[in-house]
Amino acid sequence: MAISTVYLRTIFYPENFPRTIEKSLAAAKVLKEEFGYDTIAFCGMSGAAIAFILAYELELPLLCVRKKGDSSHFSSLNTNSVLEGNVDTKKYLIVDDFVASGATVKYIMESIHQESPSADCVALLMYAVTGNSDYYQSCLDKRAWKIIGCRPENS
């Protein structure tokens, strides 16, 4: 099978994907125990790839934050909202592949805050994180989140 990017190969190649899921699920369980989140929030395909599996395994609802202008599977609903799913969340976990600039995480948080001001992001699960998580934490306005990276070994 030819996969065009190293990134996709290291995370989603059939030999690696089970490890990605296993490590992500273990991390999500630790974060659930520590922070008691009630919802898994994500944006885009990279978040959805893991969020759906974690929500199923942990029996939790999802909160999809649609990208601005994305009306796919969503046009019959309130188009002023970019949120789809558990908008009544109190504490949520953001699942994504990695933090580069922090823009996606900030977009997710701002979008949820607009419709659910009392909702609180309690943790981030970045399943493709490499290196020192201090860098990723510094991207995110010094908030005291816990970030768990769970990229599979040997990738």
3-class SS of residue 155: coil
Interval 69-125: pLDDT, tens? 666 655 445 567 889 999 999 999 999 887 667 788 889 999 999 999 999 998 888
CATH number of the domain where residue 55 is located: 3.40.50.2020
* pTM over cut 0.85: no
R_g (Cα) of the chain, nearest Å: 15
Query: Which strand (E) or helix (H) includes residue 55?
Result: helix 44-58
Domain of 139?
Answer: 6-67+80-149
User: Residue type at 32?
Assistant: K
Contact 29, 55 (CB under 8 A): no
Measuring CA to CA, which residue among 51, 66, 146 is closest to residue 111?
66
The verdict on residue 119 lying in a domain is yes
120 pairs with which residues across the strands? 91
The verdict on residue 74 lying in a domain is no
Residue 146: its pLDDT value, please? 55
The verdict on residue 97 lying in a domain is yes
pLDDT > 80? residue 144: no
The verdict on residue 155 lying in a domain is no
pLDDT > 90? residue 68: no
The verdict on residue 49 lying in a domain is yes
Residue 16: its pLDDT value, please? 78
User: Residue type at 109?
Assistant: M
Task: Round to whole Å and give the CA distance between 19 and 105.
Answer: 24
The verdict on residue 154 lying in a domain is no
In this structure, is the dihedral angle defined by the CA atoms of residues 89, 41, 136 and 107, taken in order, positive or negative? negative
The verdict on residue 75 lying in a domain is no
The verdict on residue 1 lying in a domain is no
CA angle 140/112/63 to nearest 5° reads: 105
Task: Round to whole Å and give the CA distance between 55 and 141.
Answer: 27
Total domains in the fold of the chain: 1
